[in-house]
């Protein structure tokens, strides 16, 4: 039977020569109707969508696959989906998937009726109370404040297995923010690999001089310890994404008729994470990675849901680096994030790197949202030439404003106690000056 007849586009001849109808392959007519509806700017019939969705290759359940029709006939794509060759099926599905509404591509709803049989292990954390494993969140802060520096330190702490991110403060036996070891993928649209190596080497040199008392400490340099090791499952993989464009958006040439979806750059990022079993993916920065209007709540919700779902499926936390709003009239800047409220609504955690109590080389790292734990206390940071301009926890972790309030409370309590003592002394016939050396001058 020729290709046309096989696809059901014309009639064939029976044994006796009579004309008999050729039944179209499952999904052919449905996909053709979907294409017509999408071209007309209409929503496809849900029954047609369900019929085509059922042809998705079974070994990729729940994946959100993008592509464009690229001029191929719907009947050809349906034939490929029925070909029996997995690679051909996958290629065809890549083209079919983008014709379906995004909400229809998501996997079915998990239904739980028997709670006794549901496994609910203790939640896994990469950083207790701060960074839940396999979930999505973001960090925001002023441009130039040092977010990338701070996250490079986090990536290095995880990738080397040192379990210590920002050093130690008043208690030398306890890390301020302990981290779980694992593989990290750092995808950057802002800095090239050479700049990242310069920063890491400068930081490492400063730490090694400190440990060696002015001389080079023993042991492998940091850049060697960051090499991915399949046996330990640790390492840092850097992706220079500046020439690849965003991970999410629409394909060129059809900006108005497509729903934003995973782009080729996004596929590359996910693939490189999955290759090494990454525990953490850092996207720096969101302004480049997200190729649409960051104030569109619906679009942001789709993006966050898709990447959070992928992170859960692969036990890989996704950390988005976001920028604050533009300066207001007086030039003041904010540490809050820019864009739609859906960014925070769908994030499972949100950090903020803000100003510290001192100059530009002090900072306050706070967890503004923690969905799965009590909101942790902020961490006060400092950096200097001695630390290679990397952040480290300040020895004093009491907030300056809290210290001021505490001092004020202590002062008021001393005044109360003084009045009580004066009153007790007066009742015994003693003056304020005679009791405890107090004089009227310093009695309030």
pLDDT in tens, 415-424: 667 766 666 6
- Residue 8 pLDDT > 50: no
Place of tokens 């210290």: 403
Per-residue tokens: 177:
């923010």
Cα–Cα nearest to 247, from 275, 274, 277, 284:
284
**C-alpha span between 163 and 191 (Å, rounded):** 25
pLDDT the model gives residue 439: 35
Phi then psi for residue 234, to 5 deg, are -120, 160
Region 158-164: mean pLDDT is 90
pLDDT band with cut points at 50, 70 and 90 for residue 20? very low
Q: What is the pLDDT of residues 165-220, one digit of tens each?
A: 988 655 555 678 999 999 999 999 999 999 999 999 998 888 777 654 444 445 78
Does residue 285 have a cis bond before it (omega within 30 degrees)? yes
Q: What is the pLDDT of residues 206-228, one digit of tens each?
A: 877 765 444 444 578 899 999 99
Phi then psi for residue 145, to 5 deg, are -75, -25
**C-alpha span between 41 and 57 (Å, rounded):** 28
CA distances for 332 relative to 139, 148, 324, angstroms: 20, 22, 11
pLDDT the model gives residue 170: 55
- Residue 443 pLDDT > 90: no
Q: How far is CA 235 from the centre of its chain?
A: 18
Cα–Cα nearest to 43, from 30, 31, 55, 34:
34
Q: Length of the chain, please?
A: 444
pLDDT the model gives residue 425: 56
Residues 6+ apart with CB under 8 A from 69: 35, 95, 98, 99
Per-residue tokens: 271:
């693939």
Region 38-58: mean pLDDT is 73
pLDDT the model gives residue 2: 45
The chain-wide mean pLDDT, for the chain, equals 77
Region 289-316: mean pLDDT is 91
Element (H, E) at 125: strand 125-127
Q: What is the pLDDT of residues 362-391, one digit of tens each?
A: 999 999 999 999 999 999 999 888 888 889
Query: What is the 8-class DSSP label of residue 168?
Result: B
Place of tokens 């720096």: 284
Region 40-57: mean pLDDT is 74
pLDDT the model gives residue 240: 97
Question: What is the C-alpha radius of gyration for the chain, rounded to an integer number of angstroms?
Answer: 30
Residues 6+ apart with CB under 8 A from 116: none
CA distances for 264 relative to 60, 190, 249, 259, 415, angstroms: 18, 19, 10, 15, 69
pLDDT above 90 coverage of the chain, percent: 38
Query: The whole model's pTM is what?
Result: 0.66
- Residue 64 pLDDT > 70: no
Q: What is the pLDDT of residues 254-265, one digit of tens each?
A: 656 567 889 999
CA distances for 74 relative to 36, 67, 95, angstroms: 10, 14, 10
SS3 content of the chain, % helix, strand, coil (to 5): 35, 15, 50
Taking phi over 0 as left and psi of -120 to 50 as alpha, with beta for the rest, 287 belongs to alpha
pLDDT the model gives residue 416: 65
Residue 346 or residue 436, greater confidence: 346
- Residue 282 pLDDT > 90: yes
pLDDT above 70 coverage of the chain, percent: 68
pLDDT the model gives residue 260: 87
CA distances for 308 relative to 106, 346, 355, angstroms: 12, 9, 30
**C-alpha span between 366 and 379 (Å, rounded):** 6
pLDDT the model gives residue 388: 81
Region 7-33: mean pLDDT is 57
Region 98-127: mean pLDDT is 75
Region 103-119: mean pLDDT is 72
């Amino acid at each position: 039977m020729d290709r046309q007849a096989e696809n059901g586009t014309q009639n064939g001849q029976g044994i006796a020569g009579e004309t008999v109808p050729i039944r179209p392959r499952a999904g052919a007519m449905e996909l053709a109707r979907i294409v017509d509806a999408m071209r007309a700017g209409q929503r496809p019939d849900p029954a047609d969508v369900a019929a085509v969705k059922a042809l998705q290759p079974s070994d990729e359940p729940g994946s959100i696959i993008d592509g464009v029709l690229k001029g191929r006939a719907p009947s050809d794509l349906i034939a490929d989906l029925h070909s029996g060759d997995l690679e051909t099926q996958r290629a065809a599905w890549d083209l079919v998937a983008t014709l379906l509404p995004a909400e229809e591509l998501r996997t079915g709803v998990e239904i739980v009726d028997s709670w006794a049989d549901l496994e609910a292990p203790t939640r896994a954390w990469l950083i207790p109370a701060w960074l839940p494993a396999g979930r999505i969140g973001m960090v925001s802060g002023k441009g130039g404040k040092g977010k990338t520096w701070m996250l490079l330190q986090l990536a290095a702490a995880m990738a080397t297995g040192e379990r210590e991110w920002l050093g130690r403060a008043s208690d030398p036996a306890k890390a301020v923010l302990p981290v779980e070891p694992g593989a990290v993928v750092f995808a950057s649209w802002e800095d090239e690999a050479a700049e990242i190596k310069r920063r890491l080497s400068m930081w490492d040199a400063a730490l090694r001089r400190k440990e060696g008392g002015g001389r080079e400490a023993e042991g492998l340099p940091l850049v060697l310890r960051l090499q991915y090791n399949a046996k330990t499952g640790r390492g840092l993989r850097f992706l220079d994404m500046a020439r690849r464009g965003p991970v999410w958006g629409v394909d060129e040439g059809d900006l108005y008729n497509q729903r934003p979806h995973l782009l080729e750059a996004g596929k590359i990022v996910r693939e490189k994470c999955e290759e090494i079993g990454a525990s953490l993916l850092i996207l720096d920065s969101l302004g480049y990675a997200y190729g649409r209007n960051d104030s569109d709540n619906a679009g942001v919700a789709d993006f966050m849901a898709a990447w959070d779902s992928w992170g859960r499926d692969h036990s890989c936390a996704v950390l988005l680096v976001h920028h604050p709003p533009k300066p207001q009239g007086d030039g003041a800047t904010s540490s809050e994030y820019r864009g739609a409220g859906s960014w925070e609504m769908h994030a499972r955690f949100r950090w903020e790197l803000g100003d510290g109590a001192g100059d530009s080389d002090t900072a306050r790292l706070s967890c503004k949202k923690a969905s799965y734990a009590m909101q942790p206390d902020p961490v006060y940071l400092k950096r200097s030439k001695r630390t290679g301009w990397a952040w480290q926890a300040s020895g004093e972790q009491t907030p300056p404003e809290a210290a001021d309030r505490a001092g004020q409370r202590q002062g008021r309590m001393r005044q109360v106690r003084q009045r009580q003592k004066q009153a007790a002394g007066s009742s015994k016939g003693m003056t304020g000056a005679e009791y405890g050396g107090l004089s009227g001058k310093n009695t309030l």
